[in-house]
Chain A
Amino acid sequence: MTLPFLPIFVVDLLGSALMIFFAGACVRLSYGLHVQDRENVLWVYLLMVSHALAVFAVSRGVGHIAKQLLLLGGYRDIWDGLRPYSGSLNTISFCVVGAVTLFFERIWKVYQQILRDRHALREAHENLVSLNKRLEDAVAERTAELARSEQKFRRIFEASLDMIAVVASDGTVLDMNPAGREMLGIDGLNPQWGSGAERVSFGTFFARPEEWEQLKERLQRECSVADAEIDLVGRDGREISALLSAASQCDVLEKTEIFHLVVKDISQRKAMQQQLLQADKLASIGQLAAGVAHEINNPLGIILGYTQLLIREEPEGTERREDLKTIEKHTRTCKTIVEDLLSFARRSHTKKEPASVRDIIDEVLSVVRHNLELRRIEVETHFDPQIPALVVDKDKLRQVFMNLIMNAQQAIGKDGRISIRTVFGDDGKHVRVSVSDTGTGIEPKHLPRIFDPFFTTKSTGEGTGLGLSVSYGIVKDHGGEILVESEPGKGSVFTVLLPVTAEPVESGGRDD
């Protein structure tokens, strides 16, 4: 039995060539895998195995091919020289393959650990991203909420018609809204509140600085003050009556003390209260005077009638007739006063009809012009042509303007100017008639009383003190206002505001 070596020879040569080829192909594929995912340690492992196998395959394949070819070529001695190296290289290479293979378990565990860590990291990252997103949303929402709140309170602060101020305990204004700045006349000031040269101290605006000190004490003691009535003086010197409510941050831990103030200007309200008081006083006096006048009017009529009868029977030039004339004259004076009183009390009949204010004033001026010229008093008139006809009692209004012009004349004495100006109000509902003079003016202390009946600064016999009272009553009866501005030594301005009404009105007096 013989067994030929040829099949072994063929299989050896072909097999070795195929081994080399596939080992190279394996190296290329495993490198491709590694490139696909460089962080995958498993592919690194396979790359190592492939390389080791390639080395093994090449060394073995080359060895076998060389062996067959050298033996066939009759170079046995060369092969005998190469053989130990080829065999050793083979041994080393498949030992390396075996050793690398044994690392699989460790590699796998490392890889699994990497996967777990990566998974945990990804989860942690996702959680962080989610938390971050939630946090960002919450911050954005809170920021928007704060912005809305800030805007809301800023709007209240800016739009408030009352002063809102933040003041430090030493009085330094830290912030103040536009209404407050306007109230105190520091509109133009643009201070860096609380610092710098333009530092504003709230205490300096108090008319009585001790009130500020008292207020601070109360705030520090009670933490809040409600509706304290104070008087402030603006930078422009304007006096302001105000209601102040304040609160302080009563936090023991906080060293800084901040006061939050709300100040309401009640000057107008106080003026109105004063006016109401005046009106009330006038109404009371009017009622009283009217009652008295009503009772006196009839006896005076009788006295006047009988006196005139007695005069008629008395011959001219007798002493008795002169006495009776004196009685008649003074009785007439009394009657005039009583009629004025009744007029003031609106007990006389009022008949309103459309009339031109200009005509009424012209009529009055035509009566008094001669008198004024004698005293060298110049009269200026400015009539607004747009003024419509007003529904007024012409006689009574004439009396009003007569009173005002005569008062102006008496205030001037000699050499001066009276200006009469009519203006149709912007709102189309009022006509403003102002009578100004260059006379002596009215003392401020007298201003609240000038419309009081029987109040007069003229000497006895020059005035009854009823002229302005009666004028006041007439203007009020027309639904109007009479205002006065005066500066001692410079003159006065009396302003009559009359409403524009469409229909004539019959206002009933209770004249009997």
Chain B
Amino acid sequence: MGVPGGASATQVHAEPEGLCSHQLGHGFFVVSMGVLVYWLRGRRLIRHKGWRYLQYSAILFVVWNLDAILVHYLENRDDLFMKFSEGTLHAFLQPYPGREWVTVLFYLGKMDHLLCVPAIVFLYLALRQMIRSPHRFSPQDDERP
């Protein structure tokens, strides 16, 4: 029991599964945020400033997730670019010939904090707005227009 050996009864999860599950997780995040946007709009909650900010946050998180999925995908391609001096401040990328624009896309997408930080800032603004002027909900809010 103490010595690990071959376990043929269980499935082996090799390296690509981690990336795949991570990508699926991003996909699930996209769907959940998309659904949230749909519901916020459907319930007409976006009439209130706080909930509108929450919608913006969700949209930005959707875009960020899409960006992350794309970047993860491109990063695992071996035929797009080469990394030099990795692990130093002088590191750089050099695209293979004919892969320039994809490499630029990857390069820009890699700066995903430009999307997720505004997303969480909007979440912060939404919560702040809600705490400052809390909207009193009523059962009529459930009626669709």
Contact = CB atoms under 8 A, between A and B. Distances in A.
Interface residues of A, number: 57
Contact of B124 (A26, A76, A99, A115): A26
Interface in A377-425: none
**Chain A interface, DSSP helix/strand/loop, else mixed:** helix
B113 A18 contact: yes
B111 A101 contact: no
A370 interface: no
Contacts of A2: 84, 92-94
B11 to A, nearest CB: 17
B89 interface: yes
A88 B18 contact: yes
Contacts of B130: 29, 33, 46
Contact of B93 (A3, A25, A116): A3
A30 interface: yes
Contact of B29 (A5, A15, A98): A98
B127 A33 contact: yes
A1 B94 contact: yes
Contact of A22 (B29, B110, B117, B131): B117
A84 B14 CA distance: 12
Contact of B33 (A32, A92, A101): A101
A3 B139 contact: no
Given A33-B130, A87-B18, A42 B89 contact: no
Nearest to B88: A72
A498 B93 CA distance: 150
A94 interface: yes
A123 to B, nearest CB: 12
B1 to A, nearest CB: 25
A97 interface: yes
Interface in A1-59: 1-9, 11-12, 14-16, 18-19, 22-23, 25-26, 29-30, 32-33, 36-37, 42, 46, 50, 53, 57
Nearest to B91: A5
B137 A42 contact: yes
> Of residues B25, B36, B89, B107, which shows the largest number of chain A Cβ atoms within 10 Å of its Cβ?
B25
A206 interface: no
A16 B127 contact: no
A92 B84 CA distance: 32
Contact of A26 (B107, B114, B116, B127): B127
A119 B142 CA distance: 14
Nearest to B58: A101
B127 A29 contact: yes
Contacts of A91: 21-22, 25
B100 interface: yes
B33 A37 contact: no
B134 to A, nearest CB: 7
10 contacts: A2-B94, A5-B93, A15-B112, A18-B120, A22-B120, A29-B124, A99-B32, A101-B36, A115-B137, A115-B139
Given A19-B117, A42-B137, 6 more contacts: A1-B94, A29-B124, A95-B28, A95-B29, A98-B29, A105-B35
Interface of B: 18, 21-22, 25-26, 28-29, 31-33, 35-36, 39, 43, 58, 65, 81, 83-84, 86-95, 100, 103-104, 107, 110-114, 116-117, 120-121, 123-124, 127-128, 130-131, 134, 137-139, 141-142
Interface of A: 1-9, 11-12, 14-16, 18-19, 22-23, 25-26, 29-30, 32-33, 36-37, 42, 46, 50, 53, 57, 71-72, 74, 76, 84, 87-88, 90-92, 94-95, 97-99, 101-102, 104-105, 108-109, 111-112, 115-116, 119
